[in-house]
Amino acid sequence: MSTLNTPKAALRNDWQLEEVTALFELPLNELIFRAQGALRGYFDPAQIQLSTLLNIKTGACPEDCAYCPQSVRYDTGLPVEPMMQVQEVVTAAEEAKAQGATRFCMGAAWRSPKRKDFEIVLEMVKAVKGLGMETCVTLGMLTEPQVQQLKTAGLDYYNHNLDTSEAFYSQIISTRTYQDRLDTLAHVRDAQIKVCAGGIIGMGENLQDRAQLLLTLANLPAHPDSVPINQLIKVEGTPLAQAQDLDTFDMVRCIAVARILMPASYVRLSAGRTEMSDELQALCLLAGANSIFYGEKLLTTENPSLDKDRSLLKRLGLQAVQ
Ligand code: SAM
Ligand code: DTB
Ligand code: SF4
């Protein structure tokens, strides 16, 4: 039972597509009501988890992810930057901790890490862990030995998104397969590193694709511990720069369905908050999101300012998870 005496919904890995699409089709009030119930079984609804992102290596990525400003294939005007120094990363993590973040997520624009770079990432993980923060990295595909080394270095979470449904995936990325992603997630899970896996909406996918993405995540052998739901950030120069705008409530519905399918996971209202009103963000939190990226930048794009977020959390009566 949670502190508020709401029963814990069963953790299921046998969701059927019809059940998930039926959730998407519920009247919004009913969907949100059910999602709040699911949240309250496992979490204190007055608490929110804050993760800060840092891009430790920017741009020139060989992959062709159609949404991504860091792919070498698209001219987005993003300056390519070499990998950061360990000390620079530690300084950024110290700042994030001082601002109230509990998890520090380091991202790199790689298909997969090269040996020399990987050694440096291991040092970064050890150093950030040494600050008493939760550590997370997102480095692309990993082999089993690399996962073991990250585990030994003290890594808590690995972020690797499925991004969309298997059926829609080939329209977004051609340089690696859906199975590659599932394999990396399996290596991470087998090493008992916590899994952070979610996706993006607003790339032209249909409702069935969104339902299938969430179904695939929920029917993994264990639910991802953390589920980032990103709204596409349309970056000029990427193939998806002109993608159609989402309906305002699509994000709310996706978050609510993720919450119902994976009630014990942190569901993160991720990319896209700068385009959202305070009211829409509040609705996403009401629909069961209990985590955000906190810090003025995501990887290469803007995120709300710390002041704005502090004020929003205060107005909503939310406390940061310690
Ligand atoms: N290169 C690694 C990889 O792809 O696994 C790690 C970094 S990659 C940028 C991490 C995730 O950021 C992607 O899987 C995607 O879900 C998200 N992302 C990238 N560009 C985005 C955009 N324009 N809008 C929303 N999410 C985005
Ligand atoms: C995730 O799901 N979203 C974050 C994090 N994991 C690595 C990244 C969002 C990136 C948005 C585009 C950018 O800033 O480049
Ligand atoms: Fe590279 Fe990751 Fe961007 Fe894809 S999402 S282009 S793998 S940085």
Q: Determine how many CB atoms are found less than 10 A away from the CB of residue 152.
A: 12
pLDDT in tens, the chain (322 residues): 445 678 888 899 999 999 999 999 999 999 999 999 999 999 999 999 999 999 999 998 999 999 999 999 998 988 888 999 999 999 999 999 998 888 999 999 999 999 899 999 999 999 999 999 999 999 999 988 999 999 999 999 999 999 999 999 999 999 999 999 999 999 999 999 999 999 999 999 999 999 999 999 999 999 999 999 999 999 999 999 999 999 999 999 999 999 999 999 999 999 999 999 999 999 999 999 999 999 999 999 999 999 999 999 999 999 988 8
- Tell me 81's DSSP state: B
Asked if 281 and 271 count as a contact pair (C-beta separation under 8 A), the reply is no
Residue 306 three-state SS: helix
137, 146 Cβ separation under 8 angstroms: no
Q: Which residues pair with 291 in a beta bridge?
A: 49, 268
Q: How far is residue 300 CA from its own chain's centroid?
A: 15
Angstrom distances, CA of residue 92 to CA of 46, 70, 113: 27, 21, 22
Report the residue among 61, 172, 298 best suited for mutation to probe ligand 3: largest number of ligand atoms under 8 A from its CB. Answer: 61
Query: In degrees, to the nearest 5, what angle opens at C-alpha 155 toward C-alphas 309 and 68?
Result: 55
Instruction: Ligand 3, residue 138: give the atom nearest the CA.
Output: 2
**Ligand 3 pocket, mutate which of 64, 67, 71 (most atoms under 8 A from CB):** 71
Q: How many of the other CB atoms lie within 10 Å of CB of 59?
A: 18
Q: Would you please indicate which residues are annotated as catalytic (active-site) residues?
A: 61, 65, 68, 105, 136, 196, 268
Residues with CB under 6 Å of ligand 1 are: 61, 67-68, 70, 107, 109-110, 138, 140, 160-161, 163, 200, 230, 232-233, 235, 271, 299
Compute the chain's Rg from CA coordinates.
18
pTM over 0.85: yes
Class of residue 180 by CB neighbours under 10 A (exposed 0-12, middle 13-18, buried 19+): middle
User: Is 224's C-beta closer than 6 angstroms to any atom of ligand 2?
Assistant: no
Give pLDDT tens digits for 177-189.
999 999 999 999 9
What DSSP state is assigned to residue 163? B
The residue whose CA has the least distance to atom 6 of ligand 3 is: 71
| DSSP code for 300 | S
